[in-house]
Homo-oligomer: A and B are copies of this chain.
Amino acid sequence: MKIMRTLYHLPLCPFSRLVRIALQEKKVEFRLVEENPAERRVEFLTLNPAGEVPVLVEPDGVAVSGSGPICEYLDEIFSDPPLIGESPIERAETRRLVAWFERKFNAEVTVKLVDEKLHKRLQRRGEPDSGTIRAGHANLGQHLDYIVYLVERRRWLAGERITYADMAAAAQLSCVDYLGDVQWAAHEPARDWYARIKSRPSFRALLADHIAGAPPPKHYADLDF
């Protein structure tokens, strides 16, 4: 029996989603295992003492933890296609934008909307806070403006080729889009860019994710939204 790579993930975790897209783009076979870090499973903590998904376990059992380290690792061992960039400055630009979406967008938008509207309800942690949700929506508008700014100057977010920057941004946006919270009509160039990513085979599995008790809106998996 062939021993496969294993990715420990959560379906609506944007960091896990980035790695799922990256593995698909690089045509790496893997199996998905859903891991709820809140359970603090001892075997999982042995793999990643930080107790967070995503964790990629190699066929020999070695674990690589965190979306940043996993994406860098994948680009080093599967260099075709390159997903960071060619020159050091191009690579710095990709990494700047990955950090923008994985830190800034995640804190200012994804956590405020997905955690407040979905996880709070599913985990029975009380009523969503309308002020937090309003702030998340306002921030989302600004981030969509920034995506528009970038794609009006470049074919993809970091330059002329698709990179982890596009995948990190789309991974975050896909979680918010699962709630139906993205005002695509007000940001046409961002929608066109997202449609290009969404129609890639690497995105397909994400669009099939369904959270029990919280179905996505009709347009979520629609490639012509």
Q: Which A residues form the contact surface with B (CB < 8 A)?
A: 48-50, 62, 64-66, 68-70, 72-73, 76-77, 88-89, 91-92, 95-96, 99-100, 104, 146
Say which residue of B62, B76, B95, B100 sits within 8 Å of A91 (CB atoms). Answer: B76
Residues of chain B with a CB closer than 8 A to A48's CB:
96
Please tell me how many copies of the chain the complex holds.
2
Could you tell me if A89 and B62 are in contact, using CB atoms closer than 8 angstroms?
Answer: yes
Say which residue of B64, B88, B104 sits within 8 Å of A76 (CB atoms). Answer: B88
Could you tell me if A92 and B72 are in contact, using CB atoms closer than 8 angstroms?
Answer: yes
Residues of chain B with a CB closer than 8 A to A146's CB:
49
Residues of chain B with a CB closer than 8 A to A96's CB:
48, 50, 64-66, 69
Closest to A95 in B: B69
- The distance from the CB of A167 to the nearest CB of chain B, in whole angstroms, is 16
Bound form: Cα–Cα A91–B65 in Å = 12
Given contacts A50-B96, A50-B104, A69-B95, 5 further A-B contacts (CB under 8 A): A65-B96, A68-B95, A73-B89, A73-B91, A77-B88
Could you tell me if A92 and B73 are in contact, using CB atoms closer than 8 angstroms?
Answer: yes
Could you tell me if A91 and B66 are in contact, using CB atoms closer than 8 angstroms?
Answer: no
Residues of chain B with a CB closer than 8 A to A89's CB:
62, 64, 73
Bound form: Cα–Cα A65–B89 in Å = 11
Could you tell me if A99 and B64 are in contact, using CB atoms closer than 8 angstroms?
Answer: no
Say which residue of B49, B64, B68, B92 sits within 8 Å of A64 (CB atoms). Answer: B92
Closest to A77 in B: B88
- The distance from the CB of A152 to the nearest CB of chain B, in whole angstroms, is 15
Bound form: Cα–Cα A72–B76 in Å = 13
